[in-house]
Amino acid sequence: MIGFGFDVHRLAEGESLVLGGVTIPSPLGTVAHSDGDVIFHALVDALLGALALGDIGEHFPDSDPRWKGAPSSVFVEHAVSLIAQHNCTIVNIDCTLVLESPKILAVKFEMRQNIARLCSIPVERVAVKATTSERVGFVGRSEGVQAYVICEVQPR
Ligand code: MG
C-alpha cells in the first residue's frame, strides 16, 4: 500500500527550524504548536494514509496542550506503532522538502538516519530530497516551508 503526506508551516523570525528531526541554524523557523517539523508531519500522514488510519490532526489535535512544543518524533513513533499493530512493515520512504533557504545538503544524511531509526528500516530505504521554489510563491518568499512524503507499507 502506498501512502502520501503533505504539510506546510509558516516561517517567522525567532522560531526554531527543525526538519527531519534536525535543528538547523536559521534566522527563520516554523510557527507551530509542536516543533513544526514539516517532514515528520508529512511522514506521519503518509504512514497513516497507507493504511487509511486518518490524519495527524485527528491523532494529535493542536488544541491538545500535551503536544505544545512536542518533538514531532513522538507523532512518527505513534504512526509507526499503528503500522506494526496492523501487522505491516514499512518498505521505503521518499521525502521532498521545499524550502528557499538555508541549504540542507549538510544535514540530509542525518535526517535520513533519524527517519530510518524511527521507522526501523535501513537508511538506504529512506530518501530525503530538497528543492527551492525558485523565489516564486510563499515558499519562494521564505514565508513558509513545505514537505511531501510518500511511503510503501506491506503486510508482514
Ligand atoms: Mg504540521
CATH of residue 32's domain is 3.30.1330.50
CA of residue 86 to ligand 1 center, whole Å: 24
What is the average pLDDT across 129-151? 97
SS3 content of the chain, % helix, strand, coil (to 5): 35, 35, 30
CA of residue 77 to ligand 1 center, whole Å: 16
Decide: 47 and 3 in contact? Cβ < 8 Å. Answer: yes
Q: Check residue 90 and give its pLDDT.
A: 98
Q: Check residue 30 and give its pLDDT.
A: 96
Angle at the Cα of 83 from the Cα atoms of 94 and 17, rounded to 5 degrees: 45
Q: Check residue 23 and give its pLDDT.
A: 97
Query: Using one digit for the tens of pLDDT, what is the confidence trace for 32-70?
Result: 988 999 999 999 999 999 999 999 999 998 888 888 878
Give the Cα separation of 27 and 57 in Å (integer): 28
pLDDT-derived band of residue 143, with 50, 70 and 90 as boundaries?
very high
Decide: 76 and 43 in contact? Cβ < 8 Å. Answer: yes
Structurally, the chain folds into a number of domains equal to: 1
Environment of ion ligand 1 (residues, CB < 5 A): 7, 41
Query: Using one digit for the tens of pLDDT, what is the confidence trace for 81-102?
Result: 999 999 999 999 999 999 999 9
pLDDT higher for 68 or 10? 10
Angle at the Cα of 106 from the Cα atoms of 104 and 112, rounded to 5 degrees: 80
CA of residue 57 to ligand 1 center, whole Å: 9
Q: Check residue 33 and give its pLDDT.
A: 87
CA of residue 137 to ligand 1 center, whole Å: 19
CA of residue 105 to ligand 1 center, whole Å: 22
For residue 67, what are the domain limits?
Answer: 2-155
pLDDT-derived band of residue 25, with 50, 70 and 90 as boundaries?
very high
Give the Cα separation of 90 and 110 in Å (integer): 19
Query: Using one digit for the tens of pLDDT, what is the confidence trace for 108-131?
Result: 999 999 999 999 999 999 999 999
CA of residue 60 to ligand 1 center, whole Å: 10
Asked if pLDDT for residue 141 goes beyond 90, the answer is yes
